[in-house]
Amino acid sequence: MNYLSYQLTFREIPDEVCLSFLISGCPIRCRDCNSKDSWSPLAGKKLDRNFYMKLLQIKKPWITCVLFLGGEWLEELVDFIKIAQETGLKTALFTGAETISEELYTQLDYLKTGPYIKHYGALDNPRTNQKLINLKTQQRIIHFKEECL
């Protein structure tokens, strides 16, 4: 499993500070994708298990969740999610797909589905086609302020 980058993010999952990994090799290829450089499976570096575990230990005082931007097409993603859980962190996946495997679904705390379609906007747009769900409560998370509608 290759990744293009990782960074701390504060907006993707409300009330969580995420260590976010942009995974390469995306087969979905949304027309309006913001990360077209992630489409090639050869892009980026291999996410080594030892590096990942060490990074989680270093960042743990500042993070509450590990977010994977893509990767659902890779069997090894479940292993990386389990490592995060064993460290006491929540887990999240953003995918352009509408569904994911049951095995992966049961391992996650948060799931964002749906391709990015510029016309409908992202999660901060009330017209978005995308959904962000807290899988533990089954509640849809809304990023826009309804009083602004």
The DSSP element (H or E) to which 102 belongs, if any, is helix 102-105
- Tell me the C-alpha to C-alpha distance, in Å, between residue 148 and each of 13, 126, 136: 20, 10, 28
SS3 49: helix
**Burial environment of residue 93 by CB neighbours within 10 A (0 to 12, 13 to 18, 19 or more):** buried
pLDDT tens across 44-71, in order? Answer: 999 999 999 999 999 999 999 999 998 8
pLDDT surpasses 50 at 148 = no
Tokens of 148: 């602004």
Phi, psi of 20 (to 5 degrees): -105, 130
What band does 147 get if pLDDT is binned at 50, 70 and 90? very low
Q: Tell me what pLDDT residue 149 has.
A: 45
Write the pLDDT tens digit of every residue in 2-12: 999 999 999 89
The DSSP H or E segment spanning 80 is: helix 77-86
What the block records as the tokens of 4 is 């293009």
Q: Which of 23-27, 71-75, 105-109 has the lowest mean pLDDT?
A: 71-75
Q: Model's pTM, two decimal places? A: 0.90
Domains of the chain: 2-148 (3.20.20.70)
pLDDT value at 79 more than 90: yes
Task: Name the strands in the sheet holding 65-69, side by side, starting at the edge strand that comes first in the sequence.
Answer: 45-46, 2-9, 18-23, 65-69, 90-94, 110-113, 131-134, 139-140
